[in-house]
Every structure is written in C-alpha cells, then in structure tokens.
Structure 1
Amino acid sequence: MGPVTPGDLLALATQSCVDAAKLLHEARVDVALKGTFDQVSSADLEVETFLRASLTAGAPGSAVVGEELGSSSARITWYVDPIDGTRNFVRGIPLSCISVAAAVDGSLVAGCVLDPFRDELFTAALDVPFSVRSSGLTITPGVSPRPLVLTDIPLPGSAYSGEMEFLGELMTIADVRRVYVTALSLAWVAAGRADAAANLGIHPWDVAAGAVLVRASGGEFVDVGRDGFVAGRGEIVPWLVERLEGIVS
C-alpha cells in the first residue's frame, strides 16, 4: 500500500460522515447541559463514537480531536464535530451539520461538512477541488451590493466587551445572519452563499473542516486571537479582522 494522500483521507472522512448521518434518522435525542450556554445530546455522543471508530479503523494509527470524547494526536489527526449546532438540532431547527477534517503533521489537508437536513455534502482536499453535492434545490449565488456576513456575535456569556457595538457597526455595512453553526457557515462561504463568516469562542473542531473548504474555494481563513476567525472574500475580510482583533485585545 502506498502513502496515504489527502484525497484518500477525504474519501474516508466523506464516507464516515455519510454513514454517521444515517444514525441521526433513528437517534434518541436526550439533552444535558455541559455549561451555562452549552448542551450535549445523546446523538452527539453516538455520532462521535461512530466517527472515531470509522476514521481510526480506516487510517490505522491516526488520532482524533473531538468535541465530546477527548483529544489525542498523531501524524494523521482527525478533527471531529459530531453535531455542530446542537442547540438548533435538539429543537428540530434544520441548521446543524457533521464536520470532519484531517491534518497531516499538523497541517489541515482535507475537510468534509455534511448537512443531514438538506442532504448537502461539502468537500475539499489539497489534491481535490472544492465541491458541493446536493439533492435539493440549489440557487447559483448572485452579486449583491452589500456583503452578506454570517456571525454568532454577540455570544451569550461572552467574556469579551464590545460585541454589541461590533454587531451594530457591521449591520450598517452588511447583511447579517446569525445561524449558530460555524462549520456550516464556513461551508456556505466556500460555496459563495455568503461573503464572509466571523466568530469568537470557537474550538479547533468547529473550524478545521470549514477552513479547508474556504481555502480550497479561493477564500481566506484568518485566525484572530486564540479563539476567533474571519473567513471569506473581498474587502469585508480585512475590515472584520481589524474589528475582531480590537475586541480580543
């Protein structure tokens, strides 16, 4: 067997996500708090358990950094968010996704985001172009005079000040949507449905796959501070970076 390529890792991530999504059709959804403003469901745990087993079996010796069941590292490391947008998911709001990314020697090389409600699959790798597979209605994004920005700011319980002022200023120059599912927001930016996404309070599993998708589609992904990012295209990106850097500093 030859060396594992980013395309191989993407194929494994994609099949694992597709198989994991099938579990959600019969999943029992019990919910528990894991923080004042954060939740975990039994479906999160079931999906992450499945993904860990599938990914490490398909890439022996690999490790997983996951939201619910802990983290380890190896030459090949998977970043797994079993259900990004849990608070939406447990209420039946169709804004959540399964997100898996692969890193080799610390560099992200493949990403997959699967929207189980719309049956949309967003994929890319270093040797595989960005693509969207959808079985539903799709619209070719048009040009708008105002950029469309996806952000969850202001965050409930945030330690940062200035978030309300940021949102108010942003709304004077852009159309704003708050969807509370970071990985899917990044996939939509990659697909051209939004011009940019920006958030604070994120973790590696929230953004790893989406960062691969955005970069593969020709966009920028910029880390801001220890727990923030800006991703997208056009003049709105440096504006967002400057404003978020002001908040986190």
Structure 2
Amino acid sequence: MGLVTPRDLLSLAAQSCVNAAGLLRDIHVDVSSKGTFDQVSSADVEVEAFLRSVLVTGAPGSAVVGEELGSATASVTWYVDPIDGTRNFVRGLPLSCISVAAAVDGTLVAGCVLDPFRDELFTAAVGVPFAVQSSGLVITPGVSPRPLVLTDIPLPGSPYTGEMELLGSLLEIADVRRIYSTALSLAWVAAGRADAAANIGVFPWDTAAGAVLVREAGGEFRSIGTNAFVAGRGEIVDWLAARVEGIVS
C-alpha cells in the first residue's frame, strides 16, 4: 500500500460514513439478540459490510476491526462501529451514530463520528483540527457550575461491583446523562457539549474514533484496564478515573 497521511485516511473515513448513512433510509431493520443484553440489527450488518468494502478498496492492504463481521489488523487498520447505539436505533430513538477510525502501525491517527439523525459529522486527525459539520441548529456551549458527564454506568449484567456507588457519588457533584452511545458521547465531549464521558465494558470499535476526536480537540482520553475509559477536560476527569480504576482493577 502506498503512503497515506492521516488527512487522507480521515477524508476516506468521513466520505464513507456519509455514504453509509444513506443506506439507513432504505434498510428494513430486523433485530436479534447478541449475548444476554445486547442487540444486533440487519442495519448493523449491512452498514458494516458496506464500510468494509469502501475502506479497504480506498486503502488497499488495510484491514478492519469491526463489531459485527470480525477483525484483522494491518499497517493501516480501520475500527468500525456501523451503528453505535443499536438499542436506541431499533427503538427509533435518535441517539446513535456511525463511527470509523484509522490506526497506522497501531497508533490511532484519524477518526470520524456521523450522527445521521442530526446530520452532524465530527472529524479530526493528527495534524487536522477537530471540526463539526452540521446542517442543523448548533448552540455554542455555555458554562455550568456543575460538570456534565455522559456515562452508561452501570450497564445491565455488569460483572463489576461498585458501579451503583459510583453513579450515586457522581450524581452528587455533576449533571449526568445516559445516552447509550459511547462514540456519540465522546464526540459531544470533543465538541464541548459535555465535560466528560466514562464507560465500562467497551470495545475498541466503540472508542477509537471518539478518542481521536477528544484528543485533537484538546481533551484527555484515558484507557483504563482492557475495557473502560474516561475522557474529557478538567478535574472531573481525575475524579472519574480514580473511581473507574478502583472498579475494574
């Protein structure tokens, strides 16, 4: 594969997300269970198959780590979540997104998150500043006396103890929203709409694009253990990280 820059990879990822969103208008959605609590829809599978095809065609020799159709790695590896927030999507709740990130030799270099319901595209790459393209109403985030935190802790069936205690303590010091879309949460943190996000029980395709967005927007993204993260700005990040580490360690 020829040399590609983070900007090249971002351009391919972003256009692929936009094209994939067009499929959602015509897909008949069938839903089945995936594990005890998760769901997968026919839309997840069709969108991921489309993204795999266009990404690997656009970057020959690259490989894909995807939620629904398996994983492989290469010098350039794509991380694909075709519909992050499937449980919202299948109920018609407009809180889900398409998420694509690119890594070169194991380092994340580009990411995009597309919210098809609000027609918002969040993009960033190494050397390419964070940006939001939106055709809807965009409000400049204001300042709140309490930090706003996006988290789905605790998730149903979690094997960890201490999550309810964390949520209770968090509610005493912060405004909390549960939206059940990790990638969208991270995009909103990058855009300054929330101060922090934290989740347990996540996978690389959930967080890869959002991690790039947050870091390139000037925030922190901290992986904790093998399946948790905290991201954001300010003192709330340290507060959350200490408690999430205590739960998953």
- Shared fold (TM-score greater than 0.5)? yes
Matched, 1:191 2:167: no
Deviation at residue 189 of structure 1 after TM alignment:
0.1
Tell me the distance in 1 between the aligned counterparts of 2:245 and 2:213: 23
The residue that corresponds to 1:55 in the other structure is 55
User: What SS does the aligned partner of 2:234 have?
Assistant: coil
Using structure 2 for the length normalisation, give the TM-score. Answer: 0.99
Deviation at residue 2 of structure 1 after TM alignment:
6.4
The residue that corresponds to 2:119 in the other structure is 119
Tell me the distance in 1 between the aligned counterparts of 2:37 and 2:2: 46
Tell me the distance in 2 between the aligned counterparts of 1:237 and 1:33: 34
What are the within-5 Å matches in structure 2 for residues 31-110 of structure 1? 31-110=31-110
Tell me the distance in 1 between the aligned counterparts of 2:15 and 2:183: 18
Deviation at residue 3 of structure 1 after TM alignment:
2.3
Deviation at residue 36 of structure 1 after TM alignment:
1.0
Instruction: Please list every run of 5 or more consecutive structure 2 residues that lacks an aligned counterpart in the other structure.
Output: none
Deviation at residue 231 of structure 1 after TM alignment:
0.2
RMSD: 0.8
The residue that corresponds to 2:208 in the other structure is 208
Runs of 4+ in 1 over 3 A off after TM superposition: none
Tell me the distance in 1 between the aligned counterparts of 2:104 and 2:225: 23
Alignment size in residue pairs: 249
The CA deviation string for residues 59-102 of structure 1, in whole angstroms up to 9 with x for no partner, is: 00000000000000100000000000000000000000000000
Instruction: Please list every run of 5 or more consecutive structure 1 residues that lacks an aligned counterpart in the other structure.
Output: none
The CA deviation string for residues 145-192 of structure 1, in whole angstroms up to 9 with x for no partner, is: 000000000110000001100000000000000000000000000000
Tell me the distance in 1 between the aligned counterparts of 2:105 and 2:66: 17
Matched, 1:230 2:240: no
User: What SS does the aligned partner of 1:172 have?
Assistant: helix
User: What SS does the aligned partner of 2:173 have?
Assistant: coil
Tell me the distance in 2 between the aligned counterparts of 1:241 and 1:223: 9
AA of the residue aligned to 1:107: T
AA of the residue aligned to 1:50: F
Identity %: 79
Deviation at residue 204 of structure 1 after TM alignment:
0.1
Tell me the distance in 2 between the aligned counterparts of 1:230 and 1:218: 14
Tell me the distance in 2 between the aligned counterparts of 1:187 and 1:37: 25
Deviation at residue 241 of structure 1 after TM alignment:
0.3
AA of the residue aligned to 2:71: S
Using structure 1 for the length normalisation, give the TM-score. Answer: 0.99
